[in-house]
């Protein structure tokens, strides 16, 4: 693997770290299996790309992508909390709907922004190679996100959100309006995924309506690999684990793809991811049975 | 203070499985009274407690807690007035959160939860003090996950959590039924101590007549969704389990069939 390929994998891993954190919030904190992310990732990318090509400040465009993601999360939460649709099904409905919405937003399946000014443009002129600038820039944003989310989850409000996912009955008995916390958590989760989409578009120079396929599995892979590498009861470390998991996962994929011996093609990526996540899910269970 | 008037609860209304869980209950519990509730399975004990807590919405009647009409309030809204301990030791706390995080959750019951840190240095110091009063040595394990503790330890902490903030009413739903005898005794003693110290208005559901008579200041017996016995003061002081059975028979004109009531 070349140095450029390595740093490319790190960069992609850091972009998807936002997805990892988002999926962690939904799956682990709220216990809400949320497939909305497959739609909110390209939504974030599309919103950012459309705004950037029409001359909007790229930071504002990225913020708009987060708001769009949050709204997608709120739709899923409303279907579940207000209309009592099973959480998994609610998220699938939103995901499917978002495919059409994303085509409407973008107006076409693919938008190139390679020549446009992005949040990264000012840093390209620092005289450092681009393939260092991108992961460094995204890494700083990830660090800020980890700090803010960890701080949020340690607050009274955040703790109530964790209780909502862990034990709804106990949460209500302690005066916690569980609905409010599902709404907030799902909005936050999908806002982070929307931001990931916006950053993906800006680091790669395009937004594509099909880029969301399997986002949930990649996010889960980050969470699970992170939990294996960095098992911790501390929320901040668990979030760092998601970031680490996402980066390690991307490097592993890059290694597998560049090793000619294995004979994998780029198009085998989704299969490889699904197999990896399945193994990670099944292994702890098999281990438990072995010792029993 | 709790005032329940003309309460009626029907489950599965209009279906073949319709069940009148509470036929008609009128009950007034004054400030600081400790009422134990007994009755056989299906008598309506848990439904009564659920109705006061807000988990069960009544079909008829009115529930007031401290002069506030809470009949239509949801559980979370009532939580500022009503604290409770569940039968299942796992139900009252979050196993994935640490002890101090659970305590912090309970501390904010009935208040707006903001973005301030949940476990601060000052709060932790207060937690250490409160948990030490239990005498279980848990004050040195505040950063441990709740899930690591035994059922008895968790139930003792649940009781502590329920009484951490000022609330008007404490509801105990067979809160020692799932514990081993030694731990059950410990939690009951703890209950007595806390209720007396705070002068809490308490409603305790139990399966054991012995427990019902040994604890509290007043005992009511439910049968088929009605109160069939209500004793307190001198009348209650002289009562034994046999007397209760006799009174039950007199009131209902039938043999007490549920053996579980006689045990213990």
**What's the rounded Cα separation, in Å, for the pair B254 and A189?**
60
- Spatial distance between the Cα atoms of A258 and A23, rounded to a whole number of angstroms: 28
Residues of chain B contacting residue A158, judged by C-beta atoms under 8 Å apart: 115, 118
Written as six digits, the tokens of B156 are 């003792």
Q: Is B93 on the interface with A (CB under 8 A)?
A: yes
With a threshold of 0.80, does the pTM exceed it? yes
Tell me the per-residue pLDDT of A23-38, one tens digit each, with 9 for 90 and over. 999 999 999 999 999 9
CA distance A244 to chain B (A): 22
Cβ–Cβ contacts within 10 Å for residue B159, how many?
24
Average pLDDT, chain B: 90
Dmax (CA) for chain B in angstroms is: 61
Q: Does B114 contact A at CB distance below 8 Å?
A: yes
For B117, which DSSP code? B
- H/E stretch holding B169 reads strand B169-173
The highest-confidence range among A280-284, B150-154, B231-235, by mean pLDDT, is B150-154
Task: With cut-offs at 50, 70 and 90, classify the pLDDT of residue B179.
Answer: very high
Residues A155, A161: Cα–Cα separation, whole Å: 10
Residue A22's pLDDT band, with cuts at 50, 70 and 90, is very high
Which is it for the CA torsion B128, B86, A31, A71, positive or negative? negative
Q: How far is A233 from chain B (nearest CA, A)?
A: 8
Per DSSP, the residues of B68-102 read EE-TT--HHHHTTTEEEE-SSTTTSS-TTSBHHHH
Predicted complex ipTM: 0.89
Number of H helices, E strands in chain B: 9, 10
Q: Is the pLDDT of residue A280 over 80?
A: no
Question: Collapsing DSSP states into helix, strand and coil, what is residue B7?
Answer: strand
Dihedrals φ, ψ of A114, to 5°?
-60, -30
Q: Which residues of B touch A163 (CB under 8 A)?
A: 94, 97, 105
Q: Which residue, A143, A120, A138, A131, is CA-closest to A59?
A: A120
With a cut of 90, say whether residue B13 has pLDDT above it: no
Sign of CA dihedral B130, B131, B137, B138: negative
With 0-12 CB in 10 A as exposed, 13-18 as middle and 19+ as buried, what is A239? buried
Mean pLDDT, residues A214-241: 91
Tell me if residue B15 falls in helix, strand or coil.
coil
* B108–A163 CB contact, under 8 Å: no
State whether A173 and B75 contact (CB < 8 Å): yes
Indicate whether B264 pLDDT > 50: no
The residue written with tokens 């009605």 in the block is B226
CA angle in degrees (0–180, nearest 5) for A239-A240-A243: 95
What would the two tokens of residue A227 be?
């939990």
Tell me the C-alpha distance between B159 and A174, whole Å.
12
Residues in chain B with CB shorter than 8 Å from the CB of A177 are 76
pLDDT in tens, B111-150: 899 999 999 999 999 999 999 999 999 999 999 999 999 9
Strand partners, B60: B8
């Amino acid at each position: 693997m070349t140095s450029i390929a390595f740093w490319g994998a790190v960069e992609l891993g850091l972009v998807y770290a936002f997805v990892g954190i988002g999926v962690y919030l939904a799956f682990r904190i709220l216990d809400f299996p949320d497939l909305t992310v497959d739609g909110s990732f390209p939504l974030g990318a599309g919103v950012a790309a459309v705004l950037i090509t029409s001359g909007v400040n790229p930071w504002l465009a990225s913020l708009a992508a987060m708001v769009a993601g949050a709204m997608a999360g709120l739709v899923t939460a409303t279907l579940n909390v207000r209309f009592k649709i099973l959480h998994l099904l609610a998220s699938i409905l939103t995901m499917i709907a978002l495919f059409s919405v994303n085509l409407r937003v973008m107006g076409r399946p693919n938008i190139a922004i390679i020549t446009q000014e992005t949040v990264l443009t000012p840093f390209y002129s620092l005289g450092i190679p681009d393939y260092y600038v991108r992961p460094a820039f995204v890494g700083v944003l990830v660090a800020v996100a980890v700090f803010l989310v960890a701080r949020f989850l340690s607050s009274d409000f955040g703790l109530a959100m964790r209780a909502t996912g862990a034990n709804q009955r106990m949460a209500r008995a302690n005066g916690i309006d569980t609905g409010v916390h599902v709404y907030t958590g799902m909005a936050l989760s999908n806002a982070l995924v929307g931001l990931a989409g916006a950053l993906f578009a800006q680091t790669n120079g395009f937004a594509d309506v099909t880029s969301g396929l399997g986002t949930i599995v990649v996010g889960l892979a980050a969470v699970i690999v992170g939990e294996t590498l960095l098992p911790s009861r501390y929320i901040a470390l668990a979030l760092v684990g998601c970031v680490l998991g996402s980066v390690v996962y991307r490097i592993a994929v890059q290694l597998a793809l560049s090793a000619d011996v294995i004979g994998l093609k780029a198009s085998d990526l989704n299969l490889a991811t699904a197999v990896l996540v399945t193994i990670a899910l099944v292994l702890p269970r098999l281990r438990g049975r072995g010792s029993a | 203070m709790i005032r329940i008037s003309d309460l009626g609860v029907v489950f599965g209304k209009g279906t073949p499985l319709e069940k009148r869980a509470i036929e008609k209950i009128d009950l007034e519990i004054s400030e600081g009274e400790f009422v134990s509730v007994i009755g056989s399975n299906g008598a309506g004990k848990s439904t009564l407690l659920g109705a006061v807590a807000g988990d069960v919405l009544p079909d008829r009647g009115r529930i007031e807690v401290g002069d506030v009409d809470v009949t239509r309030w949801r559980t979370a809204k009532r939580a500022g007035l009503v604290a409770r301990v569940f039968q299942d030791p796992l139900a009252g706390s979050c196993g994935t959160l640490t002890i101090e995080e659970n305590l912090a959750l309970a501390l904010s019951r009935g208040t707006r939860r903001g973005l301030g840190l949940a476990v601060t240095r000052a709060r932790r110091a207060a937690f250490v003090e409160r948990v030490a009063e239990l005498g279980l040595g848990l004050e040195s394990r505040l950063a441990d996950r709740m899930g690591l503790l035994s059922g008895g330890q968790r139930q003792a902490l649940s009781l502590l959590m329920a009484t951490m903030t000022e609330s008007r009413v404490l509801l105990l739903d067979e809160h020692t039924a799932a514990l081993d005898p030694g731990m059950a005794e410990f939690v009951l003693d703890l209950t007595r101590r806390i209720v007396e110290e705070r002068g809490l208005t308490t409603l305790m559901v139990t399966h054991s007549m012995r427990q019902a008579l040994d604890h509290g200041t007043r005992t009511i017996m439910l049968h088929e969704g009605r109160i069939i016995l209500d004793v307190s003061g001198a009348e209650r002081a002289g009562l034994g389990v046999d007397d209760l059975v006799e009174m039950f028979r007199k009131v209902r004109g039938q043999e007490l069939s549920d053996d579980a009531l006689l045990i213990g």
